[in-house]
Amino acid sequence: MNNMNHSIHEFAVQLIQNCPVCQKVKPIGIVEVIDEKPMNYLLRASCKFCNSGMMLKVQVMPNGLFGSVLVTDLAANEIERFRKEKAVSVDHVINAHSLSDKAWKEFINS
């Protein structure tokens, strides 16, 4: 493991003291880099005990790390694909609701 990968793995270890699913201490196993910018990382890590997936957004600040963690069942390549997609608009949500409402009414009336 080179120094950069080692420090990225350490970021994840520092941010996640306990697995949010199984609650085991120091759970970080594999860490994959999804996106890397100066002082900003988007990572996908897995628990070495229960194999739960976690998406981490890490920012390196002058006085420490700032990050957020989200439990996910997505693989790193799926996170990357969704990250590049356009945002869902209000029109998309309204159209999806209208279609499902119409399908539900047709189902009830049949």
Q: Per-residue confidence at 3, pLDDT binned at 50, 70, 90?
A: very low
Mean pLDDT score of the chain: 89
**pLDDT tens, position by position, 60-69:** 888 888 899 9
pLDDT for the residue numbered 5: 57
∠ CA 83-89-93 to the nearest 5 degrees?
110
pLDDT for the residue numbered 77: 94
Q: Higher pLDDT residue, 46 or 14? A: 46
pLDDT for the residue numbered 97: 93
CA dist 99 and 30 (Å) reads 41
Q: Which residue has the tokens 């990382």?
A: 41
Tokens of 106: 């047709």
What average pLDDT does this structure show over 102-107?
A: 89
What average pLDDT does this structure show over 84-98?
A: 91
CA dist 3 and 44 (Å) reads 18
CB 38 within 8 A of CB 71: no
pLDDT for the residue numbered 109: 87
Q: Per-residue confidence at 35, pLDDT binned at 50, 70, 90?
A: very high
pTM of the model: 0.71
Backbone angles phi, psi at 13, to 5 degrees: -65, -40
